[in-house]
């Protein structure tokens, strides 16, 4: 009997040790074409910091945060390349919630691992620019929603993998919508290339953690 219990324990330990380690997504948007703004600087303001840290909100449990992804996107894509004027990127919303899904309770479902929940994310930003020479203002807004389902009783690596897909999907959609909005509503603030030494975006607060650069 003791030998059987020991064997069962070894099997469980072996299964746990073979479980993939969850790894956060690596943020890098440097492959995307630069957007040169005809302003002297670019500031980032994060107004999404008051998201609750209790159910159903779960974004605080993962790295990188959605706001971190937007910071990184702005650093890789937006460049202040003019001599006058100011631009401000405002992060209005960046949250992730976990929502239960309906699961069957019949006999067959006892032998099937169903999709038990989903991660639903939402991001919203606005980009504003103003010129002191003629007083002109350019504003565009963009938002994205994306969701990923998880199997019932998900393991840690499955949670992280789902979150990684969520961040990737959100940023892909946000990038497309924001780029289109900049071209449509802020053409007066666009440059074909840098006029002077490009400025690094200035954040109103530090990132929650240092982003790893590959």
Q: Mean of the pLDDT values across residues 192-197?
A: 65
Looking from the CA of 193 toward its CB, the CA atoms found within 13 Å total 0
84 pLDDT tier (thresholds 50, 70, 90): very high
**Model confidence pLDDT, tens digit, residues 110-122:** 667 777 899 999 9
Q: Where in the chain are the domains?
A: 27-103+111-203
**In terms of pTM, does the model score above 0.85?**
no
Crossing angle between the packed helical segments 156-185 and 66-77, to the nearest 10 degrees: 40
How far is residue 62's CA from residue 67's CA, in Å, rounded to a whole number? 12
Contacts of residue 141, Cβ cutoff 8 Å, sequence gap at least 6:
124, 125, 126, 127, 181
How far is residue 108's CA from residue 103's CA, in Å, rounded to a whole number? 12
**Model confidence pLDDT, tens digit, residues 32-80:** 999 999 999 999 999 999 999 999 999 999 999 999 999 999 999 999 9
Nearest Cα to 73, choosing from 191, 205, 203?
Answer: 203
The predicted pLDDT at position 21 comes to: 76
What tokens were used for 109? Answer: 């479902």
What tokens were used for 178? Answer: 């924001």
**Model confidence pLDDT, tens digit, residues 21-45:** 778 899 999 999 999 999 999 999 9
The fold of 27-103+111-203 is Double Stranded RNA Binding Domain (3.30.160)
Positive/negative CA dihedral, 160, 66, 211, 80? positive
- Mean pLDDT, the chain, rounded, equals 85
């Amino acid at each position: 009997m003791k030998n059987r219990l020991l064997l069962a324990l070894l099997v469980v330990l072996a299964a746990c040790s073979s479980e993939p380690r969850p790894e956060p997504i690596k943020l890098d948007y440097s492959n995307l074409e630069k957007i040169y703004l005809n302003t002297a600087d670019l500031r980032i303001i994060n107004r999404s910091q008051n998201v609750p840290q209790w159910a159903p909100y779960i974004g605080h449990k993962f790295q990188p945060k959605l706001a971190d992804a937007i910071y990184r996107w702005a650093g890789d894509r937006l460049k202040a390349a003019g001599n006058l004027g100011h631009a401000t990127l405002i992060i209005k919303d960046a949250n992730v919630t976990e929502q239960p899904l309906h699961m069957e309770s019949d006999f067959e479902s006892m032998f099937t691992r169903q999709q038990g929940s989903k991660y639903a994310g939402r991001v919203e930003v606005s980009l504003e620019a103003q010129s002191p020479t003629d007083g002109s203002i350019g504003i565009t807004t963009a938002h994205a929603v994306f969701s990923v389902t998880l199997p019932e009783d998900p393991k840690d690596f499955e949670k992280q993998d789902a979150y990684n897909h969520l961040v990737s999907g959100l940023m892909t959609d946000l990038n497309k919508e924001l780029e289109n909005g900049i071209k449509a509503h802020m053409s007066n603030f666009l440059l074909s290339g840098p006029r002077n030494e490009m400025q690094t975006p200035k954040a109103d607060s530090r990132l929650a953690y240092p982003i790893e650069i590959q």
